[in-house]
Structure 1
Amino acid sequence: MKNASLIINAVLAVAVAVLYYLHFKDRQPDVESVVAKPAAAKGREIVYVNVDSLLTKYEFFKDTQKVLESKRFQLENDLATKGRNLQNKVAFFQQRAATMTQEQGRATEASLQKEQQDLLAYRERAAQNLAVEEQNKNKQLYDQIYDYLKKVNATNKYEFVLGYTKGGGILFADPSGDRTKVVLDGLNKEYKDKPAPAKK
């Protein structure tokens, strides 16, 4: 009887131990619950500026585009005039070729070919100069926007100011994060207040 009682006590002790283990095994203290959670800190804002609106309404960009467009137009007119002059010379040469000596004909033809090559080289140089000027103006535009945003964000209010373009990398932008008007107003005010560069 004593042996039976010991066996029953041993089985009961093992059963209690198993039940104790099963009961508390899923209740391991969570590391997060043990460590006191700090109060949720509000992060700095992420806002955006509509790049299309910025480019169409920023006065510096509009003025720059007018200047570059005017230079493109002048270049096209200049090239068209030079091209017509060359065509006239070629037509005149073709009319007079029969009355020229072979030597005169070759010399005139060589002169016209050189003039054509010079015109092509001039067009290439002028297009490159215009492209470099446009690149410099774009850099100046970016620098002005960056400097303005850096100055406005001196208090670290914004963590990011994204450039939003429809069809660009940002698929959705909540209108509450749109700072386009504020940035545009500030940029245009600074541009208007900036003294005009001295004319050379």
Structure 2
Amino acid sequence: MKNASLILNVVLTIAVAVLYYLHFKDRQPETTAVTKPAQAKGKEIVYVNVDSLLTKYEYFKDTQKVLESKRFQLENDLASKGRNLQNKVAFFQQRAATMTQEQGRATEASLQKEQQDILAFRERAAQNLAAEEQAKNKQLYDQIYDYLNKVNAQNKYQFVLGYTKGGGILFANPDADQTKTILDGLNKEYKDKQAQPKK
């Protein structure tokens, strides 16, 4: 009985092996064709170090000087208006005892209006300065884009990436760095424009 059970197990094992073989023998393994992605022939991906571009591009430096001068002028104007108002308040406090109640109220109202005018002036001036800075930044990026578009007329570059340390690009091969070439071209173009007589 034990032998019959052993023989039955061997026969069943062989039968399972035969069925397994017959079931899978006609199936060919599916091969997935691995194709290499097509390379962009003749086109490169390069980058420009944005920090270097901004600190060494003469247009950007000149623009920053103008904006810094306007900020400084605005701060001086506000400080001057603030000192003037403080002097008027101090004078009012000294003379308040000799004024009638009506004169005191009128002077106080006048000083409050002057303070509100200074705050409104500061707000308007800050908004105008921010709008001018935004317009200058747009001109900056338009100039860079136009220059890159002109330089890339032969469709040499597929992409020109802006690289900043800690930005979206984690690694940039120094061989693909075109910062100096593009910076030299931008500065030459800016210098040529500055040399042209103003209309």
Normalised to the residue count of structure 2, the TM-score between the two structures is 0.81
Corresponding residue for residue 106 of structure 1? 105
Corresponding residue for residue 66 of structure 1? 65
Alpha-carbon shift at residue 44 of structure 1 (Å): 1.6
Corresponding residue for residue 54 of structure 1? 53
**Can you list the C-alpha shifts for 1:133-169, whole angstroms capped at 9, x where unaligned?**
0000000000000000000001111000000000000
- Alpha-carbon distance in 1 for matches of 2:122, 2:197: 29
- Please tell me whether residue 131 in structure 1 is matched to residue 130 in structure 2: yes
Q: Which amino acid aligns with 1:191?
A: Y
Alpha-carbon shift at residue 32 of structure 1 (Å): 7.5
**Gaps spanning 5+ residues in structure 2: where?**
1-17
Q: Which amino acid aligns with 1:54?
A: L
* Length, aligned pairs only: 178
**Gaps spanning 5+ residues in structure 1: where?**
1-14
- Alpha-carbon distance in 2 for matches of 1:146, 1:41: 22
Match for residue 25 of structure 1 among 16, 23, 28: 28
2:50/2:162 contact within 8 Å kept: yes
**Can you list the C-alpha shifts for 1:74-114, whole angstroms capped at 9, x where unaligned?**
00001000000000000000000000000000000000000
Corresponding residue for residue 86 of structure 1? 85
Q: Which amino acid aligns with 1:82?
A: K
RMSD of aligned Cα (Å): 2.6
Alpha-carbon shift at residue 31 of structure 1 (Å): 6.2
- Alpha-carbon distance in 1 for matches of 2:77, 2:40: 63
Corresponding residue for residue 180 of structure 1? 179
User: Could you say what secondary structure the match of 2:165 adopts?
Assistant: coil
- Please tell me whether residue 155 in structure 1 is matched to residue 154 in structure 2: yes
Corresponding residue for residue 95 of structure 2? 96
Say if 1:41 and 1:106 are closer, same or farther in 2 by CA, change over 3 A: closer
